[in-house]
């Protein structure tokens, strides 16, 4: 008879996830993609400043977490180094920008 106690408890990080990828590989990939997001956000804040492009609200280093980067063409992977596809929007204006299409679709359905 097989001892089930040892088969149920595997050492953390020893298992394979998603076929041949290990947990460490997935963690490394996630950290890399997160750092690229932070780098274009930081570049956008340096290029465009700590101000919302829509409402004009100014931000300080204390509340800069409320300032987001909006991709003008809607493609979050399009990150030119000159910042031409970015605009800094506060979280409220950014939410408004992305909800406009939904609201328009909702109003357009009424006939």
pLDDT tens-place string over residues 41-51: 999 999 999 99
How far apart are alpha carbons 41 and 86 in whole angstroms? Answer: 9
The residue to which tokens 């609200």 are assigned: 57
CB atoms under 10 Å from CB of 89, counted, come to 23
Q: List pLDDT tens digits, range 62-81.
A: 999 999 999 999 999 999 98
Q: Specify the pTM.
A: 0.60
Query: Is residue 7 domain-resident?
Result: no
Answer yes or no: is 12 within a domain: no
Q: What's the confidence (pLDDT) of residue 16?
A: 47
| 13 falls within a domain | no
- The reported pLDDT for the residue numbered 51 is 97
Please report whether residue 29 resides in a domain. Answer: yes
Domain span at 40: 18-108
Q: Are 77 and 33 in contact (CB under 8 A)?
A: no
Q: Total structural domains in the chain? A: 1
Across 53-57, 80-84, 97-101, the highest mean pLDDT is recorded for 53-57
**Is 22's pLDDT higher than 80?**
yes
Question: Residue 11 domain-assigned?
Answer: no
Residue at 2 is within a domain: no
Average pLDDT over residues 13-38: 65
Q: Is residue 97 part of a domain?
A: yes
Residue 8 lies in a domain: no
């Amino acid at each position: 008879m097989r001892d089930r106690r040892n088969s149920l408890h595997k050492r953390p990080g020893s298992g394979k996830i998603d076929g041949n990828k290990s947990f460490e590989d997935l963690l490394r990939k996630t950290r890399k993609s997160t750092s690229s997001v932070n780098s274009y956000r930081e570049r956008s804040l340096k290029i465009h400043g700590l101000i919302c492009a829509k409402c004009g609200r100014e931000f300080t280093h204390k509340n800069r977490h409320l300032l987001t980067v909006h991709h003008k063409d809607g493609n979050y992977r399009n990150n030119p180094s000159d910042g031409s596809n970015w605009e800094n929007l506060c979280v409220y204006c950014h939410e408004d920008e992305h909800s406009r299409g939904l609201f328009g679709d909702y109003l357009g359905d009424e006939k």
